A and B are shown apart, each in its own frame.
Chain A
Amino acid sequence: MNTLRTPAGVSDIYGKDCILKAHTTDAIKKVCHSFGYSEIQTPAFEYLEVFGDDMSIPTDEAIKFIDSNGKILALRPDFTTSISRAVATHFADSPLPLRLWYSGNVYRSGEAYKSAKKREFAQAGVELIGVNTPEADAEVIALTINALSEAGLEDFQIELSHSDFLQGIMEDCSLSEKDSEALRSLIDKKFAIGIEEFCASHNITGTNYEILTEISLFFGDGEEVLSKYRSMTLNPVSKNAVDDLCRVYSILKAYNLEKYITVDLGQVRSFRYYTGVIFRALTTSSAFPICGGGRYNTLGRRFDLDLPATGVAFWIDRLADAILRANSSLSLNNCPDAIIFTSEENRAEAYKLAQSLREEGKRVVLDVTAQSEEDAKKSARERSITNIYFV
């Protein structure tokens, strides 16, 4: 076995990639902090049962191993479930709402994603727990917009949807669970012909037919899409979903953020635990969404915690990549500002100089290995350090 190689799907990160990743994560942390969120850290692995029903990531997606007592453990495939568990463990009697942010890695076996052979993904995000209001949904979306701007992304859109909208239509058409999933998957692929065939074979007519057959082409401007759906006669569940979205939209409009907002009610929830307004961020410089979030009011019940909640998770690697593509001039310089060469007898003095420069905010390397001035200059050149001191 080659021990110099990492296993498939994980990799070392260093140099410019590391700086870019830190830049991205720091921007998100800064905005979370400024919105009054506190940090939470949960373990990298937990009992499989924590993630264990089909509400979140399917458990065959989790990377599993066995504890010494025979219990099955899983590397966390998702933060939200872990944090929901942690809140039930520690904050059950705390004043609400809770505003928490996190950053770290999630792990997925990668089998369900033929494209994504990666197995370790950096994420950061927030959870706003204990409030079930459009203001809370809007807060998380506003935070997302601010975080993306802070990270240096300008051209992006937040695309809203609502998990109950399609649910309402499926129920109104009396579709079985299995048929609903099949239809969801067709809608998710914007597969208009497939949807048309599905409607024909399941006798779907009237408004439901009209919505389903148009949904794959009807998305975009928030105002336009929402007003069209508001003018339609919908089943009560779907109508509530549209009203809910309209309330969130009008708050975002009051915050002057509507230019970022688009709506696609054919955006299918990525997790089964979503129960309300869902959203994701899209940008021309990334082929995949750079973050995703939404309301999940029932996830906590698994941990005997009946609290409404909403949140967002940023895909750090995708976001970092998008930032780099959008800002070709982004400086990812990692060079120290100065290097001090010294000898054993002068080291005290050299250390003093280094410290005084460091206090000025300079990044200083102290070097005792150079054999000659020539050698020292060569060493500085190799590391692209321009300020050289000899003590």
Chain B
Amino acid sequence: MKYLTIALAKGRLAELSVKILMDLGYNCSEVLEKTRKLIFTDEENKLKFILVKASDVATYVEYGAADIGIVGRDTILEEGRNVYEMVDLKFGKCRMCVCGPRELKGKLGEHAPLRVASKYPNIAKDYFDSKDMGIELIKLNGSVELAPLTNLSDVIVDIVETGKTLYENGLDVLEEICPLSARIIVNRVSAKTERERISKIVSAMKAKVNE
């Protein structure tokens, strides 16, 4: 029997995913141990687990290097990969939002072109395209909240969990783009060629989070 490979996004999502997988009887405790290993094997269930950077999970799955991936919806949307997005795992819940100084609320249309800084340029572009708004995009890699404070941009597009960082810096959510949470993605061919094994794992995880 061929090994099925599950790609997990490094960090908190991996911890939560491992917990669910363990509860379902899959042996992947090793994944969370601090080792230099990159691939972890559950011989009994013929499963392999790999830990990869969140933004790479969908890439591994699209190319079939992993059959299943567990990753936040933000990276699925940003990467635009051609995969099946089969289950909402309902953890890691947050929102993708347009944020900026409070006084801009309801007035985004007045700034043309709006300067938008984001770690998610594709999501930002798609969102403003859908509103027929021309923007100037500034790609950043971290501490995005700084951008409006230093006048690098008018607004930012970023993940908002509690909003605490925003409020502390005098910023606010101006518009909500979409809700986010962890998702199970599946390679489009594996979903068919390994249908039974994959749907067993996927359905079990789905049932678990819906308990």
Instruction: Report A's interface with B, CB cutoff 8 A.
Output: 113-115, 157, 159, 189-194, 216-217, 219-220, 262, 264, 282-284, 286-289
- Structural contact, A157 and B193, CB atoms closer than 8 A: yes
Do A159 and B85 form a contact, CB below 8 Å, given A115-B63, A287-B62? no
B194 adjacent to chain A (CB < 8 Å): yes
A-chain residues with CB within 8 Å of residue B190 when the two chains form the complex: 284, 287
Q: Which of B51-69 contact A (CB under 8 A)?
A: 59, 62-65
- How many whole Å from A385's CB to the nearest CB in chain B? 38
A-chain residues with CB within 8 Å of residue B194 when the two chains form the complex: 284
- Structural contact, A115 and B62, CB atoms closer than 8 A: yes
- Structural contact, A115 and B81, CB atoms closer than 8 A: yes
- How many whole Å from A192's CB to the nearest CB in chain B? 7
Total number of residue pairs linking A and B with CB closer than 8 Å: 62
A-chain residues with CB within 8 Å of residue B83 when the two chains form the complex: 189
- How many whole Å from B130's CB to the nearest CB in chain A? 11
Q: Add 18 more A-B contacts to A115-B63, A219-B192, A288-B64 (CB < 8 A).
A: A113-B82, A115-B62, A157-B193, A191-B84, A191-B85, A191-B86, A192-B86, A262-B192, A264-B192, A282-B192, A283-B189, A283-B193, A284-B2, A284-B194, A287-B187, A287-B190, A288-B188, A288-B189
Closest to A290 in B: B189
B-chain residues with CB within 8 Å of residue A287 when the two chains form the complex: 62-65, 187-190
Closest to B61 in A: A287
B-chain residues with CB within 8 Å of residue A114 when the two chains form the complex: 79-81
- Structural contact, B64 and A190, CB atoms closer than 8 A: no
Closest to A156 in B: B193
B-chain residues with CB within 8 Å of residue A216 when the two chains form the complex: 84, 86
Q: Which of B17-31 contact A (CB under 8 A)?
A: none
- Structural contact, A190 and B191, CB atoms closer than 8 A: yes
A-chain residues with CB within 8 Å of residue B64 when the two chains form the complex: 286-288
Main SS of chain B's interface residues? mixed
B88 adjacent to chain A (CB < 8 Å): yes
Q: List 11 A-B contacts (CB under 8 A).
A: A113-B82, A114-B79, A189-B84, A190-B186, A191-B85, A217-B86, A220-B192, A262-B192, A283-B189, A288-B188, A288-B189
Q: How many residues of B contact A (CB 8 A)?
A: 27
Residue from B82, B190, B194 with most neighbouring chain A CB atoms (10 Å): B82
Query: With A and B bound together, what is the CA distance between A220 and B195 in angstroms?
Result: 8
B-chain residues with CB within 8 Å of residue A262 when the two chains form the complex: 192
- Structural contact, A115 and B193, CB atoms closer than 8 A: no
- How many whole Å from B59's CB to the nearest CB in chain A? 7
Query: With A and B bound together, what is the CA distance between A327 and B189 in angstroms?
Result: 19
- Structural contact, A282 and B79, CB atoms closer than 8 A: no
Query: With A and B bound together, what is the CA distance between A287 and B79 in angstroms?
Result: 18
- Structural contact, A282 and B84, CB atoms closer than 8 A: no
Complex partner residue of B86 from A157, A190, A282, A283, CB under 8 angstroms: A190
Closest to A286 in B: B189
A-chain residues with CB within 8 Å of residue B88 when the two chains form the complex: 193
B199 adjacent to chain A (CB < 8 Å): yes
Closest to A283 in B: B193
A-chain residues with CB within 8 Å of residue B65 when the two chains form the complex: 287
- How many whole Å from A194's CB to the nearest CB in chain B? 8
B-chain residues with CB within 8 Å of residue A192 when the two chains form the complex: 86-87
Closest to A189 in B: B85
Query: With A and B bound together, what is the CA distance between A284 and B195 in angstroms?
Result: 11
B-chain residues with CB within 8 Å of residue A283 when the two chains form the complex: 189, 193
Closest to A115 in B: B62
Query: With A and B bound together, what is the CA distance between A292 and B26 in angstroms?
Result: 36
Query: With A and B bound together, what is the CA distance between A311 and B52 in angstroms?
Result: 40
- Structural contact, B193 and A284, CB atoms closer than 8 A: yes
B-chain residues with CB within 8 Å of residue A289 when the two chains form the complex: 188-189
Query: With A and B bound together, what is the CA distance between A190 and B86 in angstroms?
Result: 6
Query: With A and B bound together, what is the CA distance between A125 and B62 in angstroms?
Result: 25
A-chain residues with CB within 8 Å of residue B84 when the two chains form the complex: 189-191, 216
- Structural contact, B193 and A190, CB atoms closer than 8 A: no
